[in-house]
Amino acid sequence: MKRNLRDLGIIVIVALVIWAGFTYFSTTTEQQDLISLKQEAEIADYFNEQIFREFDSIDTELTDSVMHVILNRLAKGMDTVSYEYDIYVLRSDQVNAFTAFNGQLFVFTGLIEQTESAEELAAVLAHELAHAENRHVIKNLVKEIGLNSLILIISGGDPVVMQEITKLVVSSGFSRKLEREADEYAIKYLRDANINPNRLTQFFLKLKQKNKSLPSGFEWISSHPALKERIEFVSENIGDSVEERAIELDWSSFKKSLGQYSM
């Protein structure tokens, strides 16, 4: 009897140790960090297959050069650069840009058409870079479908499931908390890269004013919650004035070159 009680006690202690270790690991490790960068790169491969099936990528020397110039400028304002970033321009009337996986950013021609300068696009991309650096897409997916499901997707790469994930990444917004975090980082990136952070609020306000009813094509606005609140937050946290240094690009010529790819 005593031996049985002793054995039971040992089992209970072992179980408690395992439970405590699991609880500690779960609460001290961000769930998105349980997905390695290598695994994220695997998701990116599946994701890109879906994206390039649905949208045409404008892969020209001029487009690549323009995105490279803007990205390099923004990188000067970033303390850390976690990925080898790529920016893809997709042919679509949607006014949208989004962060995907493994340092891949996508921007639609419809959004570029709404910008008046390279600095405005840089402000939008600064926000998307902030999502990427903080792995918000992975965090969002873990919240939406669960960590175990995401790991199964990585190992299986089911095309039907990946199609649904693609829709989720392209059209779904982030929580207010994650949007605010991305805005905080974007303000810093822009300031440190000598770009006025007000470019972001100006772009928000311009689109809001031009399209008060927010038609379906304006995903970048409609998928970002509490727009008025975010405009106020950015305006209040810009800090001292920034002496902006222009990004040396012929923006009107670039936009004109995209005209031949209109839908």
Domain ranges within the chain, ordered by starting residue: 1-34, 35-261
pLDDT at 24: 40
Beta bridge partners of 108: 90
Q: What is the pLDDT of residues 40-62, one digit of tens each?
A: 888 888 888 889 988 999 999 99
pLDDT at 210: 63
**pLDDT greater than 70 at residue 141:** yes
pLDDT at 1: 55
Q: What is the pLDDT of residues 63-75, one digit of tens each?
A: 999 999 999 999 9
Residue 78 is inside which H or E element, if any? Answer: none
**pLDDT greater than 60 at residue 35:** yes
DSSP letters of 56-124? Answer: EE---HHHHHHHHHHHHHHHTT-S---S--EEEEEE-S---EEE-STTEEEEEHHHHHH-SSHHHHHHH
Average pLDDT, stretch 28-36? 63
